[in-house]
Amino acid sequence: GDSVTQMEGPVTLSEEAFLTINCTYTATGYPSLFWYVQYPGEGLQLLLKATKADDKGSNKGFEATYRKETTSFHLEKGSVQVSDSAVYFCALSLNTGNQFYFGTGTSLTVIP
């Protein structure tokens, strides 16, 4: 079935370190891919998205490229800040049904 697998956490990084959070997917059709972020005590909010192969989503210094050949959508940021501490969710949605499939989330803590 359709699903998303993302790397286990928690991840702890020093400020200004490089971040990668891996995400791979399984889908029967041609999904759209998303990264959501959840700050402490809040709901999820969209960080970035890509709707077709080779698209790159970007926002707030984060990037992810939709790789059909490796079925991946890894999240990257060149220099993390303390304010990036949050839980990050990878998700996919098929173009039919509007239903989303979420990964289990990766907790990131950035220390000064």
Rounded CA-CA distance 57/71 in Å is 15
Smallest gap, in angstroms, from Cβ of residue 42 to another protein? 6
Q: Which is nearer to another protein, 7 or 17 (CB)?
A: 7
CA 47 distance to own-chain centroid = 8
Those residues with Cβ within 8 angstroms of residue 12's Cβ, 6 or more apart along the chain or in another chain: 108, 109, 110, 111
Measured between alpha carbons, how far is 99 from 58 in angstroms, rounded to an integer?
23
Would you say 105 or 108 has its CB closer to another protein?
A: 105
Is residue 56 within 8 Å of 65, Cβ to Cβ? yes
Per-residue interface string for the shown chain with another protein, residues 26-55, x marking contact by CB under 8 A: -----xx-x-x----xxxxxx--x-xx---
Residue nearer to another protein on the CB measure, 18 or 30: 30
Provide the 10 A C-beta neighbour count for residue 26. 13
Residues of span 49-108 touching another protein by CB under 8 A: 49, 51-52, 89, 93-95, 98-100, 102-105
Residue among 17 and 63 whose Cβ is closer to another protein:
63
Q: Which residues bind another protein (CB under 8 A)?
A: 31-32, 34, 36, 41-46, 49, 51-52, 89, 93-95, 98-100, 102-105
